[in-house]
Amino acid sequence: MTFASLGLAPALLQALDSLGYKTPTPVQSQAIPAVLAGRDLMAAAQTGTGKTAAFALPMLQRLGASEEKVAANSIRALVLVPTRELAEQVHASFRHYGEHLPVSTYATYGGVSLNPQMMRLRRGVDILVATPGRLLDLFRQNALKFKQVQILVLDEADRMLDLGFAQELSAVFAALPKVRQTLLFSATFSDEIRSLAKGRLRDPLLIEVSPRNSTVKAVKQWVVTVDKKRKPELFLSLLKDRRWGQVLVFVKTRKGADQLVATLLAKQIKADAIHGDKPQASRQRALDSFKAGAVQILVATDVAARGLDIDDLPQVVNFDLPIVAEDYIHRIGRTGRAGASGEAISLVCADEAPLLAAIESLTKQTLSRDEEPGFEPEHRVPMTNGAGQLVKKPKKPKVPGGRASKGVPSNWVGFDEAPAKTGSRGKARPASGPKKARPGPR
């Protein structure tokens, strides 16, 4: 199958050829004809399999073929994404694919000044990529109108709900025209997302090109068990001994990201961090430096789990396991993209055993475990059974005699066999040794 056989216009085929796209992926081959036909759809596919092109290419073709002109402060298509990084990535894809088409695109998100975005929207934009919060800010200040919206895309809709955007999504749906084409694309679909789709999509086509909540087979995954306090030391050891090049490292907290970067910089290793406390300009600088090879280690919180599109990224390291099991899939999806192979290594301490069990239950696989010589954990990481449960350590057999024998030598013959004596009130009292003879009269 070729992109031409999907019915794409010559201008798009020219752009795809210059980008080196030869054969459509399974999600693209199924979604592109449906979107061109005007169908609503829900498409679930593993991250890194070409979801963005699956909706961007047919959207560009439909809007490019229309003679309708976009009005001031208006848009003709809206793509909602959960993070700033994903907004920039999706916007860049639209620019590349639509290079030879008269279709304008723009991205809006928080963390940067609102005024430049308001100024740009005055001229109208055909395709707007936005995060929900900033989109509503612009709408409520009358800088944006939705009357011309023909197509709505929710990209990574499950993540938007995870990040607490449920109310914002409801407000957006209420403001949009009722007659529109709606597309949901995501690597995973939670039950909440499926419920959301039932009330807002019209007879959607369901596309699932991979098992629900599955991980990319090209990514080799394993766990290294270690005590929590020794994780930084272990990571440095793996980095040196295995001669890793560029590594994307995921941590749980913003403070943890900054601490790890400080440790790496002290060892003369070029590193930077991306997290919610950093201004968007700083986050973009760190990402650009990593893509350019100027930074070897990029440390990120889950704000970057989706939206980072990095070519030839061989390793992803989970310095901390994610609280939400689904985020594991998106984290490791940053490697092994576009058919390439990759590795995902998780450094797991005893406290994280329940999180590991949840990940294995979600992905329906038990991750192989390893121990690095010299880093064997003092606190054992409980085993898991692959069903989201920990395997309890067998209890030690009880010592004969129970609690009564505590502190008594095991070779004290006759201790347990001695009959209990009855006290004056009828209560049993422990047996005692032979009575001492009373001293005689002096």
Q: Per-10-residue mean pLDDT for the chain, 442 residues long?
A: 92 93 90 94 77 94 93 97 88 94 95 92 97 94 96 87 82 92 81 79 84 62 94 94 91 92 95 85 86 91 67 86 85 68 90 92 88 92 73 58 46 44 46 50 46
Q: What is the pLDDT of residue 165?
A: 85
Q: What is the pLDDT of residue 404?
A: 43
Q: What is the pLDDT of residue 126?
A: 97
Q: What is the pLDDT of residue 217?
A: 61
- Type of residue found at 332: I
Distance CA 230, CA 378 (A): 11
Q: What is the pLDDT of residue 298?
A: 94
- Interstrand relation of 271-274 and 342-348 (parallel, antiparallel or unpaired): unpaired
Strand order from edge to edge, sheet including 41-44? 105-108, 125-130, 75-80, 151-155, 181-186, 41-44, 205-208
For CA atoms 167, 31, 59, 309, give the dihedral sign: positive
| 74 Cβ neighbours under 8 A, 6+ residues apart | 124, 125, 144, 145, 146, 147, 148
Q: Is the distance from CB of 337 to CB of 217 less than 8 angstroms?
A: no
Phi/psi-derived region of residue 16, left when phi > 0, alpha when psi is between -120 and 50, beta in every other case: alpha
What does the domain layout of the chain look like in residue ranges? Answer: 4-208, 219-370
Following DSSP, what letter does each residue of 34-55 receive, concatenated?
A: HHHTT--EEEE--TTSSHHHHH
Q: Is the distance from CB of 158 to CB of 105 less than 8 angstroms?
A: no
Q: What number of other Cβ atoms are within 10 A of residue 303's Cβ? A: 22
Per-residue model confidence as pLDDT tens digits over 196-255: 787 788 889 988 876 555 555 668 899 999 999 999 999 999 999 999 988 999 999 989
> Which option is the CATH number for 219-370: 3.20.20.370, 3.20.20.80, 3.40.50.300, 3.40.50.720?
3.40.50.300
Q: What is the pLDDT of residue 44?
A: 83
Whether 219-370 and 4-208 are alike in CATH topology: the answer is yes
> Which option is the CATH number for 4-208: 3.40.605.10, 3.40.50.150, 3.40.50.300, 3.10.130.10?
3.40.50.300
Q: Is the distance from CB of 105 to CB of 97 less than 8 angstroms?
A: no
